[in-house]
Amino acid sequence: MTINSGLESEVTDYEALYRRIRRRYEREREVRMEAERIAEDGLSQLYARNRQQALMEAVAAQANSGLSVEDIVRFAFSQACEMGPWCMALAWLPDSKGSGRVFRLASHLSGHGGFEKPLGSELVAVIPYLV
């Protein structure tokens, strides 16, 4: 009987050891998963900021190239729509007479062509630029 009770206590000790190691493994796994999630979030934020900086540098370079304002706006729209979740952008460019033009950039998903859109008392030309 003493031999049998010795084996039972040994088995119980191994089971307790197994449960303790298993709990430790689960805690370490949860900590590792959380650390990986935090690292992935930080890395994705870093990539997004790098893309934003690249966009700003490209638009600044385009603006310094001496092109017209319309060309720069079109370039900025196309770059911003490619970078972000947007499929359309609008800009109002007033001139010295008090009137102005609206530039519209739409992605290929919208499928709309150029049209005149009333804005206040005047018709404003809406110029599409397909990405």
For the stretch 19-35, pLDDT in tens is 999 999 999 999 999 99
Q: What are phi and psi of 89, to 5 degrees?
A: -145, 150
pTM: 0.53
At 72-120, the pLDDT tens digits run 888 888 888 777 776 677 777 777 776 666 666 655 444 344 433 444 4
Query: Rounded to whole angstroms, how far apart are CA atoms 30 and 64?
Result: 51
Cα–Cα distances in angstroms (integers) from residue 50 to residues 29, 45, 56, 63, in the given order: 31, 9, 10, 20
**How much is the pLDDT for 103?**
60
